[in-house]
Structure 1
Amino acid sequence: MKFSPVIKTAAIGGIAVLALTSCAANEQGAGGDGGADSSLSGELIGAGASSQGSAQEAWVAGFQTNHADVTVNYDPTGSGAGRETFQQGASAFAGSDRAFKAEEIEAGPFDACAADSGIVEFPAYISPIALVFNVEGVDSLKLDASTVAKIFSGEITKWNDPAIAGQNEGASLPDQNIVAVHRSDKSGTTENFTDYLAAAAAEDWTVGAIEEWPTEFGGEAAQGTSGVVEAVANGVGTIGYADASRAGDLSTVEIKVGEEYVAYSPEAAAAIVDASPLEEGRGDHDLAVTIDRTTSAEGVYPIVLVSYLVGCEQYEDAANAELVKEYFSYIVSEEGQSTASEAAGSAPISEDLRTRVQTAIDAIQ
């Protein structure tokens, strides 16, 4: 579907209104080191994963410090909306908590891209997905995949259920209803979480890896990452899943891996990505990773979100190509990854992965 010029203008205007701190970042950039030497100028529009929100704020600020005449606007509408916006040509790039599926790429179209152009997509933001909960008198929990699946499918309904109590000896678990909070919107975070359940607890989670929560499981729905965190924080007996960088002061769950229980950390999240293969049958610059959710490797956290950036190999607008290429290069640089880690608690990508990603970015034209 093509956007008319009027609709495209409205969509981009909406993104600008909702943009993440671009004005403040431009003020920083005007006086930042290197800004005066940059020849780049213009406006870059992106949209997508809310999980990248804090990281995008930091990336925008850092990039605009070095490129004072560039404005970057990123609208954290969610992965599904971001992919649609990019496909419809209303943004130059997308953030997504999953890679485009092969059939989606084949079906197209990608209106920002030149005819017959492939896409560039790669892991840019790696973060554990934390299970956050709010149960009075309980500061920490240990759970295996089967128990997590039964909680979120509605099979386990009480906090003092034997399946929970048996893994948490000494915990004061109340005879209280469990309120499982899930995303109401189409979400890559949901797909990553359910992908873990489908792989590690296949007998208890039979609906597979899905972006939209199955209504038959009930629970409480909340919009976006911030909505889930708010619902858990303000609820009673609540548990939910969210990007770990947004967990704040909420209590979190240690997940059973092999014979051990592993707390989330950027290091444990990065370890599972490096241990997982790239998907086969993709284009040369499409670096989609197949995460091994069932690993028993020591110190690996399996509920991990790998959030991608997506652009065109070849753009219809050469100005977009130049801006996207430079912005993506900054994001995956050692500086960009360190900036995101400090701002959002994400795991910097490895040097080996950075080399492969930069090769893909260099293909943009």
Structure 2
Amino acid sequence: MMKLPRKNRLRASALGALAVSGALLLTACGSDNNTGTTGGGGGNNTSAKNVKCDGAKGKLLAAGSSAQKNAMDLWVKNYMAACGGVEINYKSSSSGEGITSFTQGVVGFAGSDSALKPEEVADSKKVCTSGQGVNLPMVGGPIAIGYNLPEVKDLVVDAPTLAKIFDDKIKKWNDPALKKLNPSAALPDKAIQTVHRSGDSGTTQNLGKYLGKAAPNDWKYEAEKAWPAKGGQGANGSAGVAAQVKQVEGSIGYFELSYATSQSIPTAKLNTGAAAPVAANSENASKAIAAAKIKGTGKDLALGLDYATKAEGAYPIVLVTYEIVCDAGNKPETLGNVKSFLGYTASDEGQKILSENGYAPIPAEINTKVREVIAGLK
């Protein structure tokens, strides 16, 4: 038997593993399991009514960000109900794994909570034979700071305090800094147990961007996908972090709001310097995302977010999940599916699902450009 070059063997192995995972889990209902595959997730939304299937058929593999998993569950469920000849398999893992799968040519599109780096764009050109990977903002939302402290129902934190907590500089819940922010709360003399993502994560990177911009004197780490600080406990995916916070009294962690909502985990308000502390909710995240500017060029729509905003009612710990696609050079067998499915997710109907499920829709002005790029994919 002819032995394939190592690069091809790795690509074939990744494709086989993803295909097997998708086949095994295609019919499973959606859950918070970050290693699962979306194939018709849960949710009580009605099926989509205005989907343009446009002859889409066959299977479409995708992978990446767990931040958008709950939205993707609903999108896939609704889309597959409308377009019966298509099977969408979204493997929820991490932004880093999604980008790797994309640049190896394993998936039709990837989800990432951070825009492609220059070296990743260069890698994408090997797959996008006549183009390159571009970032299409599709899902917005707050990164909630969830905590397990039965004594306190309305916790307030600010960026410097949060930085010190996650950097293991503030170790007790009754620390003077927390007392100052919560003068009427019965803060216990209890150890703080921090929980963070164990693998490469766009959620981690976005939290790092916020702490670096809003508390530069207390958070000295670069905003990378790998957790940078010492101490704390790592957990797999947003679902894993949420599960640990839910189970361990005295713990605190970070994850997308939908995970806090689904597990009834209380979330902290942020003292941003505005008139009142700001809660983590879709409306307040939308106020922060609405101020974003497109920093990408051409068909790339990567956004620049203001993590240090003090605007009234704006919740600044936000992320935007991008669907990463080839602007040109897509595989003919998946191009129709990619355009049809992402056309639905970017539609008014698809975006409405976000605000109903703990996410924030992409601002209309930006989303109009997203739709234009999707329509022009080739």
TM over 0.5: yes
Quote the offset at 1:351 in angstroms.
1.8
Deviations 1:8-50, CA, capped at 9 Å, x for gaps: 233322343345646557xxxxx98689986321111100011
Distance 2:330 2:166 in 1: 44
1:304 maps to 2:309: no
CA contact (8 A) 2:141 2:360 kept: yes
Distance 1:140 1:337 in 2: 30
Distance 2:373 2:146 in 1: 36
Segments of 4+ moved more than 6 angstroms: 31-37
Listed as ranges, the matches of 1:322-337 within 5 Å are: 322-337=336-351
Q: What is the number of equivalent residue pairs in this alignment?
A: 354
Of 235, 238, 254, the residue aligned with 2:269 is: 254
Gaps of 5+ in 2: 1-6, 30-37, 42-46
Distance 2:101 2:53 in 1: 32
Distance 1:150 1:23 in 2: 40
User: Bigger shift: 350-359 or 330-339?
Assistant: 350-359
Point out the structure with the larger helix share: 1
Quote the offset at 1:284 in angstroms.
1.0
User: Bigger shift: 123-132 or 283-292?
Assistant: 283-292
- Counterpart in 2 of 1:28? none
Q: CA 1:24/1:132 → structure 2, altered by over 3 Å: closer, same or farther?
A: closer
Q: CA 1:361/1:120 → structure 2, altered by over 3 Å: closer, same or farther?
A: farther
Quote the offset at 1:263 in angstroms.
0.4
CA contact (8 A) 2:309 2:316 kept: yes
Distance 1:149 1:43 in 2: 44
Quote the offset at 1:256 in angstroms.
1.3
* Aligned residue identity for 2:21: G
1:221 maps to 2:228: no
Provide the TM-score with structure 1 as the length reference.
0.91
Gaps of 5+ in 1: 26-30
> Identity across aligned pairs (percent)?
36
Of 111, 124, 128, the residue aligned with 1:113 is: 128
* 1:299 match: secondary structure: coil
Of 174, 178, 194, the residue aligned with 1:180 is: 194
Q: CA 1:110/1:18 → structure 2, altered by over 3 Å: closer, same or farther?
A: farther
Q: CA 1:55/1:34 → structure 2, altered by over 3 Å: closer, same or farther?
A: closer
Quote the offset at 1:112 in angstroms.
4.0
CA contact (8 A) 2:238 2:255 kept: yes
Quote the offset at 1:364 in angstroms.
0.7
Listed as ranges, the matches of 1:1-365 within 5 Å are: 1-2=7-8, 3-5=10-12, 7-19=14-26, 21=29, 24=40, 39-106=55-122, 108-114=123-129, 116-214=130-228, 216-248=229-261, 249-259=264-274, 260-279=276-295, 282-342=296-356, 344-365=357-378
Quote the offset at 1:296 in angstroms.
1.3
User: Bigger shift: 257-266 or 233-242?
Assistant: 257-266
CA contact (8 A) 2:142 2:319 kept: yes
Deviations 1:90-139, CA, capped at 9 Å, x for gaps: 11110111111123213x1455422x412232111101000000013111
CA contact (8 A) 2:40 2:73 kept: no
Provide the TM-score with structure 2 as the length reference.
0.88
Distance 1:353 1:23 in 2: 28
- Counterpart in 1 of 2:44? none
Q: CA 1:17/1:263 → structure 2, altered by over 3 Å: closer, same or farther?
A: same
* 1:346 match: secondary structure: coil
Distance 1:276 1:38 in 2: 32
